[in-house]
Amino acid sequence: MRVAAIYDIHGNLPALEAVLEEIHDTGVDQIVVGGDIVPGPMPRECISVLRALSVPVQYLRGNGDRDIVDAKRGEELTRVPQAFHQVMRWVADQLPSERIEELSAWPLTVGLEIPELGEVLFCHATPRDDNEIFTRATPEDRLRPVFAATGAAVVICGHTHMQFDRSVGDVRVVNAGSVGMPFGEPGAYWSLLEPRGIDLRRTDYDLTAAARRIEETDYPMDFAIERPASESEMLELFEAAALQ
């Protein structure tokens, strides 16, 4: 079995299209979408492209997806800073009610048995929380209680938009990276799981053309795919908030 793990698309349709083209050329048996298809500048289009795929797709709900559901339902956005409320409501307005119901029904985790890799658990942030932060630099002793109880050989996560592959006790923990909003070198990041191993992938795409397409939307916030935040800067910020 070959499985593509694509996380944190954030409405970046050009990045998603580039990754799906590479996935098609690679040949996979299944795709796991690990949360946070939205929010972002082209949320409706991203969901439509994924729904049209012929390969089986399983979805997880990310924290951003959950916040968009809350925004659509008129609920208070308690986890979202006030500065982002306008953009969250803009994204929610792009999605019809049936898409919102789909997002709200997505599970927090998905488990797959992949030969040679064993039991693989997919989650958005951590197995216990869709908004919890940790990085490749978080001390292992703090992470052991988070992952030991899963019983999985491998856990695939996202949320922090930076790829890594590390061990936490007996569990291999992999961040698949962000398709649409990575930190560090520009590109679209995802992961390929197959019996012979896990391959951390980076797909190049035309960032200038993508930026023009995004600028043609009414998205009410800058979406800096050509100038992402540095990985070192984000590691420092995320580690300060790790497991809080």
Averaged over successive runs of 10 residues, the pLDDT of the chain (244 residues) comes to 97 98 96 97 97 97 96 90 92 96 96 93 97 95 92 96 96 98 95 95 97 94 81 89 82
- Residue 206 phi/psi, 5-degree rounding, is -75, 100
Contacts 24+ apart (CB under 8 A), 226-229: 226/186, 228/181, 228/182, 228/183, 228/184, 228/185, 228/186, 229/183
| pLDDT score for 241 | 81
Q: Which two tokens stand for residue 67?
A: 């916040």
| pLDDT score for 123 | 98
Category of 8 on φ-ψ map: left (φ > 0), alpha (ψ -120 to 50) or beta: left
| pLDDT score for 223 | 86
Taking the alpha carbons of 142, 145, 148, 150 in that order, is the dihedral positive or negative? negative
What are the residues facing 191 on neighbouring strands? 5, 200
| pLDDT score for 229 | 81
Q: What is the pTM of this model?
A: 0.95
Q: Residue 180 is part of a domain; what is its CATH number?
A: 3.60.21.10
Domain count, the chain: 1
> Are 50 and 33 spatial neighbours (Cβ–Cβ below 8 Å)?
yes
- CA neighbor of 194 nearest in space, from 115, 110, 112, 120: 115
| pLDDT score for 227 | 76
Distance (Å, whole) CA 50 – CA 47: 5
Q: Domain residues for 164?
A: 3-240
